[in-house]
Amino acid sequence: MSRLDVTEKIISTKVSKGLSWADVAKKVGQSKEWTTALCLGQMTATPAQAKVLGKIFGLSADEQKWLMVVPYKGSLPTSVPTDPLIYRFYELVSVYGTTFKELIHEEFGDGIMSAIDFKMDMQRQADPNGDRVNIVMSGKFLPYKQY
């Protein structure tokens, strides 16, 4: 058994039970964005969170333990994503990455936006020309230190 096996079981059970990530997140007590990342193998559960997920997805005690193992981050099977939706994020970084970098450095100085001290919110935004995907990402600024 591996973390990938547990992830596949979670996804399969989610589909068969008709669950939403938002409903799962409410039971876990975290945001739908973080909980989804956890269930897809990108975050580490506490014992209490693993137990809740075990009940929701019918996970054994051994499968629940995999949820508490620090995962290997980065779940894409190729360096350039082939899934059209994920590719658009790759495209955003390819096109706007230097703009993000320039504007963050101008506003904050030399450093990075944390992906560890990080929050994300995704909402549907009604628009008469077609609904929009509204994603807000908030990461702590970490300045480079001089030594």
Q: Catalytic: 107?
A: no
91 an active-site residue?
A: yes
Kindly list the structural domains of the chain, giving each domain's residue range(s) and its CATH number in brackets, ordered by start.
1-66 (1.10.260.40), 82-141 (3.30.1160.10)
* Token pair 């499968």 in the structure block, residue: 63
- From the candidates 12, 88, 94, 138, give the one annotated as an active-site residue: 88
Known catalytic residue at 33: no
Q: From the candidates 2, 20, 60, 91, which is the catalytic residue?
A: 91
Evaluate whether 65 touches 100 at the Cβ level (below 8 Å). no
Kindly name the residue from 12, 60, 94, 114 that is annotated as catalytic.
114
pTM of the shown model = 0.81
As given in the structure block, the two tokens for residue 99 are 């703009």
pLDDT recorded at residue 78 = 79
- Residue 79: predicted pLDDT: 85
Residue 69, C-beta contacts closer than 8 angstroms, at least 6 positions apart: 3, 44
Average pLDDT, 10 consecutive residues per value, the chain (147 residues): 95 97 97 95 96 98 97 81 91 90 94 95 98 97 93
